[in-house]
């Protein structure tokens, strides 16, 4: 059984995701974590996303890098987003646009990036183990090693 603080946090995060983007933005400003508004204001209300938001709300003073493990970010326009050192393990980014996103040191292990658009994204030191990248458009693949490029191509990724 959940303890009261966890139940309260679960309720708060569920209510946050039920709000419209403008109200979410105001909540993030009030909490001092508006720097994450570019994706937290767009996430749909799902169980996986409530769990992700809980990571951000649990202790806002300790939020440094985005923990989006298992998040559903499918079909979202996330152009220019900052996921530096982001944990996107098992995240659903299918069909999302991440044009010119900062993805340095991001962990995409087991993530679904089918039909995603990463053209112009910075991809230095990213981890792709078990990622599904069929028809994911990497453009020039900025920051990828030749080995990563070959591996991703073999899995169906597209490069210019």
Considering the entire predicted model, what is its pTM?
Answer: 0.91
47: containing domain:
1-63
**pLDDT lower than 70: segments of the chain:** 1-4
Where do we find the tokens 């010119």?
100
Q: Are residues 53 and 69 in the same domain?
A: no
Residue 7 has a pLDDT of: 86
Could you tell me if 59 and 73 lie in one domain? no
For residues 69 and 108, membership in a common domain is answered with yes
Q: How many CB atoms lie within 10 A of CB 28?
A: 20
Domain match, 42 and 84 both:
no
Quote the percentage of the chain above a pLDDT of 70.
98
Number of domains in the chain: 2
């Amino acid at each position: 059984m959940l303890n009261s603080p966890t139940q309260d946090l679960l309720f708060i995060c569920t209510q946050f995701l039920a709000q419209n983007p403008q109200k979410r933005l105001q909540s993030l400003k009030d909490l001092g974590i508006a720097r994450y508004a570019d994706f937290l204001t767009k996430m749909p209300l799902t169980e996986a996303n409530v769990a992700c938001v809980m990571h951000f709300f649990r202790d806002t003073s300790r939020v440094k890098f985005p923990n989006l493990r298992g998040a559903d970010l499918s079909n979202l326009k996330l152009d220019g987003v900052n996921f530096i050192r982001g944990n996107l393990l098992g995240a659903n980014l299918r069909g999302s646009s991440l044009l010119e996103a900062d993805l340095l040191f991001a962990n995409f292990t087991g993530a679904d990036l089918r039909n995603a658009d990463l053209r112009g994204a910075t991809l230095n030191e990213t981890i792709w183990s078990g990622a599904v990248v069929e028809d994911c458009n990497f453009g020039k693949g900025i920051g990828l090693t030749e080995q990563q490029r070959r591996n991703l191509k073999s899995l169906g990724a597209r490069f210019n």
